[in-house]
Structure 1
Amino acid sequence: MNGDMSSLLDLLRATTEQATSAGASVSVQSNIAADTNENERNEMLSLIARQLRSYGLIAEADAVATHIIIDSHRIAAKLPSAKLARLCFSVPSKGSEKSEDASHVQRGPTLGVVDTTRAVRSAPQFVSWFATQHKGAVRGAAFSVDGAYIATASADASLKVLDVAKIQNCRKDSSMAATDKPAIRTFYDHQSAANAVAFHPNGSILASCSDDQTIKLYDLQKLNMKRGFRYMQDACAVRCISFHPTGDYLLAGTDHECVRIYDMQTFKCYRPSMPSTGDLTGSITKAEFSPFGNVFATSSTDGSIRIYDGVGGKLINTIAQAHGGASVSSIQFSQNGKWLLSCGLDSLPRLWDLGSGRVLQTFEGSSQKNISINASFSQKDELVLSLDDVSNSIVAWDCKTGTLLKKYNTMHSGPIRALHTSPVDGGFVTVSDDCRMRYWFPEENF
């Protein structure tokens, strides 16, 4: 433990120095780099607080947590994590003359309309490490905030929870698959197809939504429970859900045109204030809070994207005909919360600047006209990943330049419905009508 504590203190010093250095160079760096450094600082402080807490140093952990600005990281600081131990060994020693490459320090791209001044990155080699099977088509999946677990939702009305560490262990030693199975929980509580799942930021609650017009909550700490402990009833099929970074609220999109907001303390349902419902003509395909919870967004079959204030719920902006009038299938915020990635039935995923509402990048080269599928950022916002509904392949673009890097054979025997990326590494999952969820990981760092 003394060695661990020494490494922890070294890491704390290095983090402080890095934060100080970042603050001194803000005047010569872009706003994106500044936002990224702040997010990294909060993430690192969260990891330190979590490790201190695991050692029983509660007062010290709380003291570190007071310096964390972002709510989601402050919540995460209450849970221990093995990630810090790995980072301890990668911190350069004090006085080291080796300078760190700026491109390594900055997580996420410096985005422009089209950046042609930068060399196109090489395409990573993704490999399917693991597959799990339901009795019906798999419609949705989600990673926990710490990336340690994956949940799946199926048309057979069941949910599964899988341990990512066990998936990775099976990759290293295939004999472990029979004795240490990655699927650790199964839930049966919906009466119709389950459409989506979401982990509460505290990691102890899983939420699901269904065609049976309900949202259900499951206690992951009660190992013998196979049914939810709470449900919220709607009048329409519920298509998507998203937790606020604090976990205090839950967004829900349904076949109705208005998004729902649930208070997780009272379980009361609210609708955001709207100037008029006349412009709302389609059902919601995706609803999502930004990483900081200050705004949330919805996409709709009416072809629009709408941005709302995350505090008062007021409509801030509407991007009408975001995909040329085609239905908008999905949206996802970037890590800094300033950009929005959308996917629609026009086969052209787009990257939007939330401040101006203009298109920063358009990603060409895939077909997305037959199935409503999504586009997703990679963990570092360096890649955009989506799907091609003709070749049934995974498509990867360079997020900064918009260059199509590669198409990957998915090994799925049925149409792929969604792709979801890990928040902590390069892994992601695909879900398909072939009743399987596949876990993918890059063979090389990129």
Structure 2
Amino acid sequence: MPEHTVEISVFPSLAAVSAQDWDACACPEAAGGGRPIDPFTTHRFLLALEQSGSVGPGTGWAPQYLVARVQDQVIGVAPAYVKSHSQGEYIFDHSWANAYERAGGRYYPKLQIAVPFTPVTGRRLLARPGFETTAPTALAQGAVQLTANNRLSSLHITFCTGNEAQAGAEIGLLPRIGQQYHWENADYASFDDFLAALSSRKRKTIRKERATAQAFGGTLRALTGDQIQPAHWDAFWRFYQDTGARKWGTPYLTRAFFDIAHQTLRDDILLVLAERDGIPIAGALNFIGRDTLFGRYWGAVEDHPCLHFEACYYQAIDYAIAHGLARVEAGAQGEHKLARGYLPVETHSLHWIADPGLSDAVERFLAAERAAVGEDIEILTSYGPFRKTGGHDQ
């Protein structure tokens, strides 16, 4: 095979790809033992999803991992799944599916390049250093070919980076923009330093919320690594089931995922627990990246005013400031985050649709949506809690 020829292979299990080869593409920045930019495309995280049964048979997420090689060297990888529904994606295409099926088409199955159940921006077309152009292009083209060859309706690359979105658009994929809320660390020395950047009214509100939450009758603990014990996952599973049942009907992650996470991911995890009389009654699960804390799940078995805000948002800010992290990403949706210092930012995805008629309709929709999202971000940012330069502190 000529040296420049890229070969794409598809594997139904990540066990067929070595952690060394996968992570050389997914997180080369962690090769020396440091943290990855985010843990969600690492071999250990994706394998935990698969081994726990959170993806695979019966879930609607059938793994089809893409691997790009030049000769015997793995130069790129992508976490891909054949989907039989649109659950657990957070960039919604339900309306596209409904319209296509009303017109007599078959929208499912489709191909998704994504981290399941994880609305976190990151690289999706993962390249070994030195192949940053060759590998993503080959992976994107291979994914389109896989979609077409298997008569799937469409390809979706969700929560990709802005650079990936631009490169994908240049080869004919349809770019989409969404939004979520992030907290940015302006080199704050303390939480009070952060509060000083807010209007006085917002400062008072947050201080009142923190005091209300702290008065729930117990203590809050932030645990990571070996501080996390197996029994903590028993408690968090109860919280997660409660939230999952209310939001999705059935929780996405299985109980086994948390057992595997304890073995292979606990150094990537920050677990905030609210305990009363030594018994956990609420908790928030975060993942730790190189410069970002990623808020993922929250749950509680008791209802206490403002405890959700404290455990999910303010404890995360405390941790980020104490550890010099640049931002906190608090997950999908939630305009209530705005008043707590989390401002709207763009998210990106790419789409390829086999049917020309549906593709044209989606392309028109996305153009209008991009303009609307841009306006929303501008307006929402203006309503943020920060003091206006040159204005009154109110």
- Asked if TM exceeds 0.5, the reply is no
Normalising TM by the smaller chain, what interval? under 0.3
- Higher relative helix content: 2
What TM-score do you get using the length of structure 1 for normalisation?
A: 0.25
- Where is the strand percentage greater, Structure 1 or Structure 2? 1
TM-score normalised over the length of structure 2: 0.27
* Larger relative contact order, structure 1 or 2 (CA cutoff 8 Å, min sep 6): 2
